[in-house]
């Protein structure tokens, strides 16, 4: 509090009494008065800094210490605020600077160093500067005044806080009373509600006991009825299971009978179809034989010719091999002849450098052309691969077969020869010796692959 008021003291002209003669170099006011400058109260230090800052503003530059020259261009107030520590230290340590400050005040502001008892801070600062004997007492008075001012300030602050706390306590007391009244009213209301709830609970308890007794009677009746229903349900389930077993047996017998009838019908149908096919082929073969016999006997004509009565050297018996394209053409001219081709055996002999799919396509195309020219029934068999069956389609007059994955084409060819009726002309085109031997025993003519390829190339 004193620090703020005391900074303006030099401007008001309140400085203590004349300092008297300047102190000699090397001796300071602290030495004469027995003061410790480091223990000076802050208000005294601030007033010393203000006095020195005001004097520095009018002192010649040579009289200003080097440490204070950077602050010389500042205003006194700013110089006292920023250089207070340096100013006080120079006043304490440099007796010449201290004497110059006192001399500047006596010269430029005479009489301002005299102050009355109502300016204890200015009196203390002047006494410290001049080293007066009463400096210790003046500084002690300033310290006591500062302590008293601080005590008064603390007392005023404590009284202010006490007033605030009193107001707050009164407010809290009023709120507490209001809250207590509300709680009392709420408690009375809750007590009334509790009384009503007790009465309702009592009534509900009576009804609950009545309903519990009724429920017990109903549960006993339900248990009795359930026992009777369980017995009847068990009898019904057993009867249902017996009926279901008899029905399952009847259905199984009916299914077996239906399967047997279907199998018998299918077998009879297949046998009838096979008989019909064999009969048709036999009739075609007999018709061809009759036609050939009629032609050879020249029935209905001018009678047989001498040459017709002599068997030529090229006449072929069933099972004879075909070694020339001419002999193949002779057999292909027979009625109802069936040509069976070992597919890969012929295609690999003629154009084995092509991929298998291209081989199949080329062979089927050539056989289709042969069938169109001669009207011969042609069946070509390839090894395995149901996967590739869809990649090669037959052409008109050519039947394309693929053996199953576990069956070779040779076995399919043998089955085809065995399925044909006796007497039908059969040609098997293959160079496989095992196949040739087996089909010749069945009466079929074997045609080497090279001979068929030669015929297809014309």
Sheet with 377-382: list strands edge to edge. 398-402, 377-382, 338-342, 426-429, 445-447
User: Is residue 34 scored above 80 in pLDDT?
Assistant: no
Query: In this structure, is residue 238 part of a structural domain?
Result: no
- Of 376, 377, 343, 381, the closest CA to residue 362 belongs to 343
Tokens of 164: 């605030």
Query: In this structure, is residue 364 part of a structural domain?
Result: yes
Q: Quickly list H helices, 7-109.
A: 9-12, 29-33, 42-58, 76-82, 84-93, 95-108
- Among 133, 151, 179, the domain-final residue is 133
Query: In this structure, is residue 299 part of a structural domain?
Result: no
* Helix (H) / strand (E) containing 271: helix 135-297
pLDDT digits (tens, 9 = 90+) for 70-116: 776 677 676 666 667 777 777 777 777 777 777 777 777 665 555 54
Pairing of strands 338-342, 426-429: parallel
Tokens of 22: 């300047």
Rounded to a whole number, what is the largest CA-CA distance in the chain? 192
- Of 338, 356, 334, 336, the closest CA to residue 347 belongs to 356
pLDDT digits (tens, 9 = 90+) for 382-401: 997 554 544 556 677 899 99
pLDDT number for residue 25: 37
pLDDT number for residue 132: 66
Average of pLDDT values for 116-121? Answer: 60
Query: In this structure, is residue 240 part of a structural domain?
Result: no
- Read off the CATH number of the domain in which 405 is found: 3.40.50
Predicted TM-score (pTM) of the model is: 0.36
pLDDT digits (tens, 9 = 90+) for 387-441: 454 455 667 789 999 998 888 999 999 999 999 888 889 999 999 999 999 999 9
Query: In this structure, is residue 263 part of a structural domain?
Result: no
Domain that holds residue 411: 318-457
- Of 318, 338, 332, the closest CA to residue 419 belongs to 338
Provide the number of structural domains found in the chain: 2
More confident residue, 425 or 37: 425
pLDDT digits (tens, 9 = 90+) for 181-217: 899 899 999 889 999 998 889 888 888 988 888 888 8
pLDDT digits (tens, 9 = 90+) for 133-173: 666 766 777 777 765 566 666 667 777 877 888 888 888 98
Residue 386 to residues 202, 362, 403, 446: CA-CA distances in angstroms?
89, 19, 8, 27
pLDDT digits (tens, 9 = 90+) for 360-382: 999 999 999 999 998 899 999 99
- Split at pLDDT 50, 70, 90, the class of 355 is very high
């Amino acid at each position: 509090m004193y620090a703020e008021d005391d900074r303006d003291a030099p401007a008001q002209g309140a400085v203590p009494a004349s300092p008297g003669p300047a102190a000699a170099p090397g001796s300071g006011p602290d030495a004469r008065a027995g003061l410790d400058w480091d223990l000076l109260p802050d208000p005294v230090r601030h007033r010393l800094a203000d006095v020195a800052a005001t004097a520095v503003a009018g002192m010649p530059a040579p009289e200003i210490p080097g440490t204070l020259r950077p602050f010389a261009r500042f205003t006194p107030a700013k110089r006292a605020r920023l250089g207070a520590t340096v100013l006080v230290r120079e006043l304490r340590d440099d007796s010449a600077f201290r004497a110059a400050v006192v001399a500047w005040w006596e010269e430029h502001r005479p009489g301002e160093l005299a102050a009355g008892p109502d300016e204890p801070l200015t009196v203390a600062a002047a006494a410290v500067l001049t080293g007066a004997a009463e400096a210790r007492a003046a500084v002690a008075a300033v310290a006591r005044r500062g302590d008293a001012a601080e005590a008064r300030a603390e007392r005023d602050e404590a009284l202010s806080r006490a007033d605030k706390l009193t107001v707050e306590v009164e407010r809290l007391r009023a709120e507490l009373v209001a809250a207590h009244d509300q709680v009392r009213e709420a408690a009375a209301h809750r007590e009334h509600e509790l009384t009503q709830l007790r009465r309702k609970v009592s009534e509900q308890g009576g009804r609950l006991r009545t309903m519990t007794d009724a429920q017990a009677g109903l549960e006993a009746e339900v248990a009795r009825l359930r026992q009777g229903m369980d017995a009847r349900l068990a009898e019904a389930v057993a009867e249902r299971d017996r009926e279901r077993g008899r029905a399952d047996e009847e259905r199984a017998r009916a299914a077996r009978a239906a399967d047997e009838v279907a199998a018998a019908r299918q077998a009879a149908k297949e046998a009838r179809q096979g008989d019909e096919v064999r009969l048709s082929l036999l009739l075609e073969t007999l018709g061809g034989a009759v036609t050939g016999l009629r032609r050879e006997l020249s029935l209905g004509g001018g009678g047989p010719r001498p040459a017709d009565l002599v068997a030529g050297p090229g006449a072929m018996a069933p099972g004879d091999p075909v070694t020339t394209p001419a002999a193949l053409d002779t057999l292909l001219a027979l009625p109802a002849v069936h040509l069976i081709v070992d597919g890969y055996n012929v295609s690999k002999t003629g154009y084995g450098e092509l991929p298998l799919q291209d081989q199949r396509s080329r062979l089927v195309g050539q056989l289709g052309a042969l069938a169109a020219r001669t009207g011969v029934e042609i069946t070509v068999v390839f090894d395995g691969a149901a996967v590739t069956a869809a990649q090669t389609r037959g052409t008109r007059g050519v039947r394309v077969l693929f053996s199953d994955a576990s069956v070779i084409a040779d076995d399919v060819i043998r089955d085809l020869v065995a399925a044909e009726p006796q007497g039908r002309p059969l040609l098997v085109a293959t160079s496989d010796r095992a196949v040739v031997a087996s089909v010749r025993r069945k009466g079929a003519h074997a045609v080497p692959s090279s001979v068929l390829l030669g015929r297809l190339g014309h």
